């Protein structure tokens, strides 16, 4: 066909105005299908320009593209437009139930009594969705003509992140600390005998920023906290004998990330008074 067409063009025997767009497919040995498209455009000088384009398409790639295009829309979920504003979910459900099982109806609402003229209907099977589409496209409902089409799949809502489970922490109050002691020093000191230290904190004055000389050490179990209190009582730490006792809030609830649920400011104030008295 292409060869004959080119001969006619060369002889001037082909009426181009009657064939504005011609497409043909040629199959060549040992090659992918060759898609050839001829297009003719008229110029202001009443002559014609022949545009020839040839593209090869891998059949596997073409099938993949078609599959992706099909997946862009659901074969069971329909979108209904131009829905009467007074329609309810029940009205839409009863209309579509004539053609199959309605799994879900989503009606976009403007307010509590008026919808936006848009509804999404999920049917139980592709066959039922097709039946509803064929029968309800251009259907007159309360003076309005429905427009139906396939809709994209409903997006799944991301599961909310799990809240960390609260776990108890057992806190010791540590006084008579050297002013050079920092939280990492305190944690390393109490971890030196194998205790499972959750966190350590040294309390500072704000203006000027200066260590208050006391802090807190938290343990995962009451047994470890009591053992540390006995073991570290009076031990020398960076040149000073430390005093260890249960915190005023010995048991606290904290999240898995180690952050305490209760505010330590109140405890700090209470224990600072106690440290001053001691």
Assess if residue 5 is contained within a domain.
Answer: no
Whole-number Å distance between alpha carbons of 173 and 247: 5
Query: How far from chain centre, in Å, is Cα 161?
Result: 11
DSSP code, position 220: S
Closest of 181, 238, 253 to residue 212, by C-alpha:
181
Q: What is the pLDDT of residue 18?
A: 46
Assess if residue 31 is contained within a domain.
Answer: no
> Does residue 260 sit in helix, strand or coil?
strand
Assess if residue 15 is contained within a domain.
Answer: no
Judgement on whether residues 145 and 85 belong to the same structural domain of the protein: yes
95 burial via Cβ count (<10 Å: 0-12, 13-18, 19+): buried
Assess if residue 107 is contained within a domain.
Answer: yes
115 burial via Cβ count (<10 Å: 0-12, 13-18, 19+): buried
Beta bridge partners of 107: 119
Query: What predicted TM-score, i.e. pTM, was given to this entire model?
Result: 0.39
Whole-number Å distance between alpha carbons of 259 and 255: 6
Assess if residue 139 is contained within a domain.
Answer: yes
Q: What is the pLDDT of residue 16?
A: 45
Assess if residue 115 is contained within a domain.
Answer: yes
Give the residue-averaged pLDDT of 212-227: 92
Q: What is the pLDDT of residue 161?
A: 83
Judgement on whether residues 195 and 131 belong to the same structural domain of the protein: no
Judgement on whether residues 177 and 213 belong to the same structural domain of the protein: yes
pLDDT tens string 127-169: 999 999 999 999 999 999 999 999 988 877 778 887 777 777 8
pLDDT band, very low/low/confident/very high, at 61 (cuts 50, 70, 90): low
Cα angle: 274, vertex 276, 277; to 5 degrees: 65
| Higher pLDDT, residue 244 or 64 | 244
Judgement on whether residues 89 and 138 belong to the same structural domain of the protein: yes
Beta bridge partners of 140: 145
Assess if residue 262 is contained within a domain.
Answer: no
55 burial via Cβ count (<10 Å: 0-12, 13-18, 19+): exposed
Q: 82 pLDDT exceeds 70?
A: yes
Judgement on whether residues 196 and 138 belong to the same structural domain of the protein: no
Contact 175, 213 (CB under 8 A): yes
Judgement on whether residues 112 and 81 belong to the same structural domain of the protein: yes
- Our count of domains for the chain comes to 2
Assess if residue 146 is contained within a domain.
Answer: yes
Q: What is the pLDDT of residue 254?
A: 60
pLDDT tens string 230-275: 999 999 999 999 999 999 888 877 654 444 444 444 444 555 545 5
Whole-number Å distance between alpha carbons of 21 and 158: 49
Q: What is the CATH number of the domain that holds 229?
A: 3.30.70.330
pLDDT tens string 227-239: 999 999 999 999 9
Judgement on whether residues 174 and 241 belong to the same structural domain of the protein: yes
Judgement on whether residues 85 and 131 belong to the same structural domain of the protein: yes
Residue 46, by phi and psi: left (phi above 0), alpha (psi -120 to 50) or beta?
A: left
Give the residue-averaged pLDDT of 176-192: 92
Judgement on whether residues 142 and 97 belong to the same structural domain of the protein: yes
> What order do you get walking across the sheet with 21-26 strand by strand?
21-26, 34-42, 48-56
The parent domain of residue 123 ranges over 77-150
């Amino acid at each position: 066909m292409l060869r004959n067409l080119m001969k006619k063009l060369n002889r001037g025997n082909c009426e181009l105005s009657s064939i504005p767009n011609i497409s043909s497919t040629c199959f060549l040995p040992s090659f992918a299908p060759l898609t050839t498209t001829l297009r003719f455009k008229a110029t202001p000088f009443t002559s014609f320009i022949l545009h020839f384009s040839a593209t090869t398409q891998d059949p596997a790639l073409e099938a993949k593209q078609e599959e992706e295009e099909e997946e862009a829309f659901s074969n069971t979920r329909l979108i209904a437009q131009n829905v009467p504003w007074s329609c309810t979910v029940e009205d839409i459900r009863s209309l579509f139930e004539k053609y199959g099982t309605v799994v879900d109806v989503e009606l976009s609402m403007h307010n509590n009594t008026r919808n936006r003229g848009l509804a999404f209907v999920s049917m139980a099977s592709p066959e039922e969705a097709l039946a509803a589409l064929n029968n309800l496209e251009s259907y007159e409902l309360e003076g309005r003509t429905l427009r139906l089409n396939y809709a994209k799949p409903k997006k799944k809502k991301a599961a909310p992140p799990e809240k960390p489970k609260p776990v108890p922490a057992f806190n010791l109050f540590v006084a008579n600390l050297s002013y050079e002691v920092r939280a990492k020093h305190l944690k390393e000191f109490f971890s030196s005998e194998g205790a499972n230290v959750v966190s350590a904190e040294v309390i500072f004055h704000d203006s000027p920023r200066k260590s208050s000389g006391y802090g807190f050490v938290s343990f995962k179990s009451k047994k470890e906290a009591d053992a540390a209190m006995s073991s570290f009582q009076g031990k020398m730490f960076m040149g000073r004998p430390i005093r260890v006792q249960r915190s005023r809030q010995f048991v606290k609830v904290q999240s898995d990330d180690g952050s305490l649920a209760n505010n330590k400011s109140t405890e700090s104030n209470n224990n600072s008074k106690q440290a001053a008295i001691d």
